[in-house]
Amino acid sequence: MDMDETKILIVGGSSGMGLALARRCLAEGSGVIIAWRNAARLNAARDELDRPAALATAMADISREAEVAALFARRLEHIVSTAADIEGAYRLLPEIELSAAQKVVDSKFYGPLLLAKHGAPKLSANGSLTFVSGIAAYRPAARGSVVAAVNAGLEGLVRALAIELAPIRVNAVSPGWVDTPIWQFVAGDAKDETLAAMAKRPPAGRVGRPEDIADAIRFLMGNGFTTGTTLHVEGGQRLV
Please identify which of the residues 14, 30, 63, 133 carries the catalytic annotation: 133
CB atoms within 10 A of CB 25: 26
- Do the beta carbons of residue 103 and residue 85 sit within 8 Å? yes
Give burial (CB, 10 Å; 0-12/13-18/19+) of 49: buried
Question: Residue 237: which of 157, 136, 101, 105 has the closest Cα?
Answer: 136
CA–CA dist 192, 207 (Å, integer): 11
Task: Tell me the sheet residues that pair with 129.
Answer: 79, 170
Q: Is 133 a catalytic site residue?
A: yes
3-class SS at 94? helix
What distance lies between CA 6 and its chain's CA centroid?
A: 19
Q: Which residues are the active-site residues?
A: 133
